[in-house]
Amino acid sequence: MDAQVIIGANYGDEGKGTVTARITKQYLGNTLNVMTNGGAQRGHSILTPDGSITYQHFGSGTYHGADTFYCSHFILNPMQFAEEWDTLIVKPNAFRDPKCLWTTPWDMMANRIEGEVKKSFASCGMGIWNTIRRSKKIYMPFDKFMSLSRKEQELFLRKVRSFYENHIEFSSFWKNVWYDYDIEDHFLKDCQFMKDHTVSGTIKELLALKSLCINNYDNIVFENGQGLLLKDTGFDTYDTTPSDTGATYALDIIKDLKGSGLDLDPVLHYVTRPYLTRHGDGLLKGETERERVSGRVQEDRTNHWNSNQGEFRYGKLDIADLKNRIEEDARGYKYVLDVTHCDEMDREEDFKKEFADVRCTDTPMV
């Protein structure tokens, strides 16, 4: 079985979804697309003959028949799962690790209220940091929650609300939304929907099950969210992500599978544009106006201003810095540098001077 690990080399928005989809296409639907880190704050867009598709809660290989597995480091979001499921052209099999954290509407609302109060565009508003903070105090596995009675579920959600209420500054708008019973009712329906459309189990259990089937997986693609420059620093800050954005989680899973008899030889794919991009607040090395990066850089088609993340920003990419952070993360494993958007800025020869295996692409079509 082949194994590919897709890693953003910078601040996210490098083209990880496109690279994932292209690799998946080669395996005729026999791919397990592992969501390795983060949660539904990711937005991985691919361009298909059916138009542009953005995946947040499903792997970017879904269009080409890949199944989705949520590893223990992925944060489930029942609301986003249900909403996105209805839009999918191809419906995958979906599996969840029992250890996944899961987000409630109040984690998301708290995230957005805090952003408004601070006048900050550092967070995408999906409640990732909030879910982690809250789960340290009030935690219950998703499977356990779904085994409760309706009354018990409502009591647990009241505890979640109470966690925030003493330190959140409510406007009249948010106060009305916060206590809206319809939101709770809708959320519980989304939770049931996600339970009904996913199978609980570890990746070891899943692959043991698949080995009994004719349609074995030929390939595992680990699809990371965010990028190496957003890696968890150990500090609770909105302009980073509370997860390892490099190869660590995927390699840990691969080592674990090897211990159970499945020997995978992974190839790490570090994805970058020829320039830097970043959404919202936070440091952006080499930041400058888009036109000064290169006159050929086009306004991005899938990343626009939004109320949570603010402007899509641009910067110049230092290739020596890029190589240093990739080498540090790769730790001697075989890797490829996948450069996207090469039609906007031709730096292929510059990359080839520093990297042994460089793959440059222009069109985002998958």
Q: What confidence score (pLDDT) does residue 306 get?
A: 63
CA separation for the pair 112, 127 (Å, rounded): 8
Q: What confidence score (pLDDT) does residue 251 get?
A: 97
Q: How far is CA 323 from CA 9, 12, 93, 210, 249, in A?
A: 9, 16, 37, 38, 21
If pLDDT is split at 50, 70 and 90, which confidence band does 235 have? low
Residue 148 half-sphere exposure, CB side, CA atoms within 13 Å? 16
**Has residue 122 got a pLDDT over 70?**
no
Q: Give the tokens for residue 33.
A: 């697309």
CA separation for the pair 103, 124 (Å, rounded): 14
Q: What confidence score (pLDDT) does residue 216 get?
A: 75
Q: What confidence score (pLDDT) does residue 317 get?
A: 98
Burial class (CB in 10 A: 0-12, 13-18, 19+), 145: middle
- Average pLDDT of every residue of the chain: 91
The one-letter code for the residue type at 311 is E
The model's pLDDT over 267-325, given as tens digits with 9 standing for 90+, comes to 999 999 999 999 878 889 999 999 999 999 988 866 765 666 678 999 999 999 999 99
- The stretch 77-94 carries a mean pLDDT of 97
Q: What confidence score (pLDDT) does residue 213 get?
A: 59
Q: What confidence score (pLDDT) does residue 95 get?
A: 96
Q: What confidence score (pLDDT) does residue 305 get?
A: 56
* Higher per-residue confidence, 242 vs 165: 165
- Partnered with residue 95 across adjacent β-strands are 69, 199
Proportion of the chain above pLDDT 90, given as a percent? 78
Structural domains for the chain: 2-98+199-360 (3.40.440.10), 105-196 (no CATH)
Place of tokens 């106006």: 289
* Nearest alpha-carbon partner for 190 in 145, 156, 137: 145
The model's pLDDT over 174-199, given as tens digits with 9 standing for 90+, comes to 989 999 999 999 999 999 999 999 99
